[in-house]
């Protein structure tokens, strides 16, 4: 018997919704019946996506501007009501060795990734607690479990956010959960940029870089954004009611740890 996920009546905020994994998540949640609030910087892209979805609205905000981002979210909650589902998904930090990054680089990445996540939990929690239902899902990276070469900033911030989320999971009230999805090598523009950067740094052809990645994946291919979105949909649903503080890799079996 087929099992469907019904999110009708739920309001879901999806950050970074204009492309890639964020867009795929927005499409999945919309199909499940949630009212999806798309958040990203590119207003034109958001407007086009809103027109394609059944029940969606858009917010334009830059997650590198914490004060502006917070103001947009607070205005949305005050005007239209609380959030039942929050998907925290941000653009990945710049590639490169960690020791080539300045202190200012680390501060900026901490603000974009950690501080926006912390704000969203605190802003959305009052409604969720009152409703007895809430889902925070963070889209991070397998670098939270195994550092990835040449992604120094990502390795550092992702692991820290996992520790923060586990701590938060122990403080949230019954019915409100937080979990993490850890995408592996996924066919997105972000991965294309990383591939180009590695090619430029090493002199290897981009196809060879990708083949090197795929050779480490038992499934034998890159992941698709829709596959990450399926995991997020499950964790955002009532079906995941007894799961909290989990970091779920979606990576085709590449990680070596148990």
The confidence score (pLDDT) of residue 2 equals 64
Q: Which domains does the chain have, with CATH numbers?
A: 11-186+224-250 (3.40.50.720)
Those residues whose C-beta lies under 8 Å from the C-beta of residue 54, and which sit 6 or more positions away, are 30, 31
Give the distance, in angstroms, between the CA of residue 26 and the centroid of all CA atoms in the same chain: 11
Q: Could you tell me which of 149, 229, 136, 147 has the C-alpha nearest to residue 175?
A: 136
Quick one: angle between helices 152-169 and 116-131, nearest 10? 20
Q: Could you tell me which of 96, 76, 86 has the C-alpha nearest to residue 124?
A: 86
pTM metric for this prediction: 0.94
Task: Scan for tokens 């995408």, then name that residue.
Answer: 183
The confidence score (pLDDT) of residue 37 equals 98
The confidence score (pLDDT) of residue 193 equals 85
The confidence score (pLDDT) of residue 197 equals 83
Please classify residue 73 by burial: count the beta carbons closer than 10 Å to its beta carbon, then call 0-12 exposed, 13-18 middle and 19+ buried.
Answer: buried
Contact call for residues 10 and 84 (beta carbons, < 8 A) = yes
What stretches in the chain show pLDDT beneath 50? none
The secondary structure of 13-81 as a DSSP string is EEETTTSHHHHHHHHHHHHTTPEEEEEES-HHHHHHHHHHSSSEEEEE--TT-HHHHHHHHHHHHHHH-
The confidence score (pLDDT) of residue 175 equals 98
The confidence score (pLDDT) of residue 149 equals 84
Q: Could you tell me which of 193, 104, 186, 197 has the C-alpha nearest to residue 153?
A: 104
The confidence score (pLDDT) of residue 189 equals 87
């Amino acid at each position: 018997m087929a099992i469907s996920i019904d999110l009708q009546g739920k309001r879901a905020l999806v950050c970074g919704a204009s492309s890639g994994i964020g867009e795929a998540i927005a499409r999945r949640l919309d199909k499940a019946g949630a009212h999806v609030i798309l958040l990203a910087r590119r207003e034109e892209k958001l407007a086009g996506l809103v027109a394609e979805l059944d029940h969606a609205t858009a917010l334009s905000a830059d997650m590198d501007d914490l004060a502006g981002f917070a103001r947009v979210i607070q205005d949305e909650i005050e005007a239209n009501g609380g959030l039942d589902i929050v998907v925290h998904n941000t653009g990945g930090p710049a590639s490169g060795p960690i020791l080539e990054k300045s202190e200012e680089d680390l501060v900026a990445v901490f603000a974009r990734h950690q501080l926006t996540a912390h704000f969203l939990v605190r802003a959305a929690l009052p409604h969720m607690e009152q409703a007895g239902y809430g889902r925070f899902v963070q889209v991070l990276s397998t670098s939270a479990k195994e550092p990835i070469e040449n992604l120094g900033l990502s390795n550092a911030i992702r692991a820290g956010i996992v520790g923060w989320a586990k701590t938060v999971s122990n403080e949230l009230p019954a019915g409100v959960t937080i979990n993490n999805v850890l995408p592996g090598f996924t066919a997105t523009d972000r991965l294309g940029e990383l591939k180009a950067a590695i090619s430029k740094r090493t002199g290897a052809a981009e196809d060879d870089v990708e083949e090197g990645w795929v050779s480490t994946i038992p499934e034998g291919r890159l992941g698709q954004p829709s596959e990450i979105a399926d995991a997020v949909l499950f964790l955002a649903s009532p079906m995941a009611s007894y799961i909290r503080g989990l970091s779920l890799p979606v990576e085709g079996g590449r990680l070596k740890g148990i």
